[in-house]
């Protein structure tokens, strides 16, 4: 692909991905303010931006076979665990940015679980099989991810068990 078009498409992918997430958060806020139609339209627009992001990623040949995708996912998580979040968390701590530090520490805890399961999945798929996987739970508050049965409270943010979503 031509270099400038590739860069534009990558930027558009990043922008649309962020709009998708922002509109989901804005929809939740509108719902809390009892503005049902505003919430509904934020959800519709969010879904539309998700389609744009997905199509841009496909145009960038960013979706491969699952073996490659697991490799890409593991690469991203590994960077976040070993480099990005430790550096960002340390700096936020030094600068006294408590909210940023907490949010990034919470993400780091979940990324470690993601990386471990991606590693298992990558090995299974390389061997021609699906991965053995129990029930997966994600904390609705902090995103902590776990396999098996959820504990009474989230080990990261202390949210009670009934606020874990099963996958």
SS3 label, residue 5: helix
Task: State the Cα torsion 146-86-75-61 to the nearest 10°.
Answer: 100
144 part of the interface to Fe ion, by CB under 5 A: yes
Q: Cβ of residue 156: shortest distance to Fe ion, in angstroms?
A: 5
H or E segment to which residue 79 belongs: helix 66-79
Candidates 11-19, 22-30, 91-99, 151-159: pick the segment binding Fe ion (CB under 5 A). 151-159
| The only residue of 70, 74, 104, 154 in contact with Fe ion, by rule CB under 5 A | 154
What does the buried/exposed string (b/e) look like for 61-78 if buried means 16 or more CB atoms within 10 Å of the residue's CB? eeeeeeeebbbebbeebe
Per rule CB under 5 A, count of chain residues that contact Fe ion: 10
Q: Which strands sit side by side in the sheet containing 145-147, from one edge to the other?
A: 145-147, 136-139, 164-166
Q: Is 85 in the site for Fe ion (CB under 5 A)?
A: no
For the bound state, the minimum distance from the C-beta of residue 61 to Fe ion, rounded and expressed in Å, comes to 22
Does the protein bind Fe ion through residue 137 (CB under 5 A)?
A: no
163 near Fe ion (CB under 5 A): no
Q: Does 156 bind Fe ion (CB under 5 A)?
A: yes
SS3 63: coil
| Residue ranges that bind Fe ion, judged by CB under 5 A | 111, 114, 139, 141-142, 144, 154, 156-157, 159
């Amino acid at each position: 692909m031509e270099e400038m078009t590739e860069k534009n498409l990558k930027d558009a992918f990043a922008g649309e991905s962020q709009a998708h997430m922002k509109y989901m958060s804005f929809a939740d806020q509108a719902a809390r303010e009892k503005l049902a139609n505003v919430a509904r339209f934020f959800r519709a627009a969010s879904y539309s931006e998700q389609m744009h992001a997905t199509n841009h990623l496909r145009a960038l040949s960013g979706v491969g076979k699952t073996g490659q995708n697991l490799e890409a996912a593991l690469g991203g998580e590994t960077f976040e665990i070993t480099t990005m979040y430790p550096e960002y968390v340390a700096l936020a701590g030094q600068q006294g940015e408590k909210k940023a530090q907490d949010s990034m520490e919470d993400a780091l805890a979940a990324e470690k679980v993601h990386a471990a399961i991606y590693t298992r999945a990558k090995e299974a798929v390389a061997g021609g099989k699906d991965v053995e996987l129990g029930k997966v739970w994600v904390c609705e508050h902090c995103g902590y991810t776990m396999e098996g049965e959820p504990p009474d409270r989230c080990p990261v943010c202390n949210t009670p068990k009934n606020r874990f979503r099963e996958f």
